[in-house]
A and B are shown apart, each in its own frame.
Chain A
C-alpha cells in the first residue's frame, strides 16, 4: 500500500514539475526571429561594445555542443580542453581586447542530432557564437538554425562543405585536401603502379574522405582497385573482418583508410590477425596517441602506417605556435598528455580569438557583428600550429590551407607521431575547388 502511495506521489510530482518547468520561459527566453541583413561597417568602431545576449559588458560567452559522454568523447574532450586552456591564457592577460574575458558554456550532444538540437536551443540565447560543434551530421542539422538565428559556429570537422558557409568558422585543411596530399606523396615515393584500395566508414566522414580519393585518382592518374565500407562501432557495427578479408584477397598494396579512432583499433587488429600488411594511409581523426604504445599494434604501425594531418609533431620547438600552446598547457593543464585533438581545439579557440578581437575593435559583439568581423579578419594565423586560413571579404572568398603533413609512427615521440613529409601542398591539392554554400 505504502509503495503504491509513493509511486502515485512520484508520478504526480513528476508531471507537475514538467508543467511548471515548461511554462517558465526562464532567463534564457529566446524565440527565433528573422533578423535583417547586416548593413555596412560598424558605426561603433573604437567604442566599447554594447551588451548583447552572450555579452554582459565584461564576459563573452561561447557555446560548445559536443559529446561530453560516450565513445566519441575520446575526441571531443581533448578538443574542449584545448579551447578551454587557450581561453584561460587569454583571460589571464585581461581577455579579448585586454578587457573582456571569455567563458565556455558546454552542452552534451551525446553525438545524437535530436539531443544536439535541444542543447543548441538551450544555450543559443546565452552565447554570442559557438566555439565548437562536433559531428558532420549534427553540424548539418544545426546549420538551418544557425542561419535563422544569425549565429556562427566553429565546426570540429574538416569537411570541404563548410569552407564557404558564412555561418561557420572552419580552420585547417579539409579532409579532401589531406587525402589528395597524402596520396600525392605516396605516388611520388614508390607508390606509382601499386594497387590502391580504400576502406571507409559508411557515413558523411567516409563520403568526404572518398571524395578526396576520387579527386586524387583523377589528378594523379591511378585507379582505385577496391573500395569497401563498414558501419562504425558507434552506429552498432564495428566488425570489419569481412571488409579486411576482401582487401586482403584483392592483394592491395595501399589501403587508404577513412575511419575515426573509434574503429581504428578494430581495423588494425583485424589486419594483423589476417596477416595483411599493406601500406596504410589514414586521415587525422584515425589517430589516438595510445595506439603507438600498444604492444599489439606498435610493430605494424611503425612499419606500415602513415597519418595525413597538419602542423607538426607535439613539442616541435621550431613551431612558435606549438611553443605558445605548450606554455599554456604547462600553466593551466599540466596533466594534459600529448594529443593532436587538444591542439585542434586550441587552434579553434585561437581562430575565434582573432575574430572576436576584430569584433571588439569594431565595437560590435552582436551576432551580426561577429559575422561581419569574420569578413574583415583577413587571414587567420596560427604561427605554424596549423595552416593559415584566408577568410577574405566574404565567405565565398575563403581559401583553406592547401597544405598537409604526413606523419609516421614513432613511439618515442610525444603523441607517438613524427613528421615524415613536412608541411607541403601538392599541385592536385592546390587545384581542388570547394563547393559554394
Chain B
C-alpha cells in the first residue's frame, strides 16, 4: 500500500508535531548549525545586524500574538521595549552607576513580569474598545511612557539616559565577552547566542499557544468576538491574556535591545511611536497571524538596509559620502522600506509567510501543482 503524503495529518498527535517531516527535521539541524557557527565567522557589523533582527523578531512575535492572532490593534510596543530596557539597566547595571547589579536572569524575568502587569492594565480597555479607538489608547501609552522615563531619573537617568549592564552572565558564562577557540568573541557575537535562543523559546511559546485550545479561542475572538463570547469563550481571559503575554514578550525584547545598544535615553526617535509603527510593518511584511512570519519580517526589514549598504559601493546612483553625488543610501533604504510595505499590502497581504506557504504547497503537490 502506498505511503500517505507527509503533508497529510491522520491523527491529533500527528497534528501537534512541530517537525513532522524529514525535511523539517533537516532544516532544524541546519538552523542549529547556523546558530552555533555564525557568530564564529561573522564580523561585528553582521553580528550586530542579525542580533538586532533577532531582538526585533522577539518583539514581533509578541505583537503578532496580540494583533495577528487576537485581532487587538496596538501601537504600544515601543513603550514595552523602553520598559524592558530601563528595567534591565536599573536592576543590572553596577551599583557604582546607581544600579542593583543583579544577574541577567533576574532582570529578564522581572522585566517580563512588569511588562505583563502593565499589559494587564492596558488590556482592560480592550474589553470595551476596538479598532482605531484601541489603537489610540496604545498610542497614548507610548507618550505617557516617554514622559515617565524622562522624569524618573533614578531609574532611567532622565534625559541624559543611562548605561546598560556590561556583563550578561548566564550559567557562569559572560555572553558579553565570551571566550571561544582561543579568542574572545565580541559583544554582538555573544549576544547573538542569547538573542536567538530567546527567539526560539518565544517562537515555541507562541506556537504552542496558537495551535492549542487557547490559540483557537484567540482566533475566535479575532474573527467574531461577540459570537465567541456566546459560545463560551471568555473575552476577559483571552483579550487581556493576549495583552499580558504580548507585553511580557515585548519587555523581554526591550531587555535585549538595551543590552545591544548599551546606552539608552528616553529619546522618541529610538523608543517612540515610529518604533511601534515599524513593528506593525514587520508583522505585515512577514505575515500577520503567523509565527515564522514575524521572524522573516524582522530579518527582511532589519537586513534590507544592511544589504543596500553593502551593495551601494557598486551601484552608481547610491552614495554614502557627504561630498559624493547621488542618492544617499540610507534615504534609498527608507524609500525601499516604504515600497516594500505597499507592495506586500497590495500584492501579498499574507506577507512572506504567505509566499512561503504557497511555495511549499506547490512543491508538496508537485507534479500536480496548480
Name A residues whose Cβ lies closer than 8 Å to a Cβ of B.
Answer: 3-4, 7-8, 10-12, 14-15, 17-18, 21-23, 25-26, 28-34, 64, 66, 68-69, 76-77, 80-81, 84, 104, 106-108, 110-115, 117-118, 121-122, 124-125, 137, 140-141, 143-145, 148, 202-204, 206-207, 231, 234-237
Flag B278-302 by CB within 8 Å of A: 1 or 0 each: 0000000000000000001001100
Question: How long is the Cα–Cα vector from A265 to B350 in the complex, in angstroms?
Answer: 46
Flag B320-364 by CB within 8 Å of A: 1 or 0 each: 111100001111000000000001000110001001001100000
Interfacial chain A residues near B48, Cβ < 8 Å: 117-118, 121
Indicate which residue in A34, A108, A234 contacts B328 across the interface (CB closer than 8 Å). A108
Residue in chain B with minimal CB distance to A14: B300
Residues of chain B at interface, number, CB under 8 A: 64
Contact A11 B355 (CB under 8 A): yes
Interfacial chain A residues near B160, Cβ < 8 Å: 203-204, 207
Question: How long is the Cα–Cα vector from A148 to B46 in the complex, in angstroms?
Answer: 18
Please classify the interface of chain B as helix (H, G, I), strand (E, B), loop, or mixed, using the class held by over half of its residues: helix
Indicate which residue in A26, A137, A206 contacts B43 across the interface (CB closer than 8 Å). A26
What are 25 A-B interface contacts by the 8 Å CB criterion?
A3-B347, A8-B358, A11-B352, A14-B304, A21-B310, A22-B42, A25-B43, A25-B46, A28-B43, A31-B47, A32-B188, A66-B322, A68-B321, A84-B322, A104-B321, A106-B322, A110-B330, A118-B48, A125-B43, A125-B44, A137-B263, A141-B261, A144-B187, A148-B187, A236-B272
A-B contact count (CB 8 A): 180
Name B residues whose Cβ lies closer than 8 Å to a Cβ of A.
Answer: 38, 41-50, 52, 150, 158-161, 163, 166, 177, 183-189, 260-265, 267-270, 272-273, 296, 299-300, 303-307, 309-310, 320-323, 328-331, 343, 347-348, 352, 355, 358-359
With A112-B270, A124-B44 known as contacts, the answer to whether A140 contacts B296 (CB < 8 A) is no
Interfacial chain A residues near B184, Cβ < 8 Å: 32-34
Contact A140 B188 (CB under 8 A): no
Interfacial chain B residues near A25, Cβ < 8 Å: 41-43, 46
Question: How long is the Cα–Cα vector from A10 to B321 in the complex, in angstroms?
Answer: 29
Interfacial chain A residues near B52, Cβ < 8 Å: 114, 118
Question: How long is the Cα–Cα vector from A45 to B181 in the complex, in angstroms?
Answer: 35
Min CB distance B354 to A, Å, is 9
Contact A32 B270 (CB under 8 A): no
Question: How long is the Cα–Cα vector from A26 to B46 in the complex, in angstroms?
Answer: 10
Min CB distance B78 to A, Å, is 12
Interfacial chain B residues near A30, Cβ < 8 Å: 43-45
Most buried by A among B49, B322, B347, B352: B322
Known: A21-B303, A32-B189. 5 other contacts (CB 8 A): A7-B343, A21-B307, A31-B44, A137-B161, A144-B163
Most buried by B among A26, A69, A104, A117: A117
Min CB distance B96 to A, Å, is 12
Contact A118 B49 (CB under 8 A): yes
Contact B310 A32 (CB under 8 A): no
Interfacial chain B residues near A64, Cβ < 8 Å: 322
Question: How long is the Cα–Cα vector from A28 to B355 in the complex, in angstroms?
Answer: 34
Most buried by A among B41, B159, B296: B159
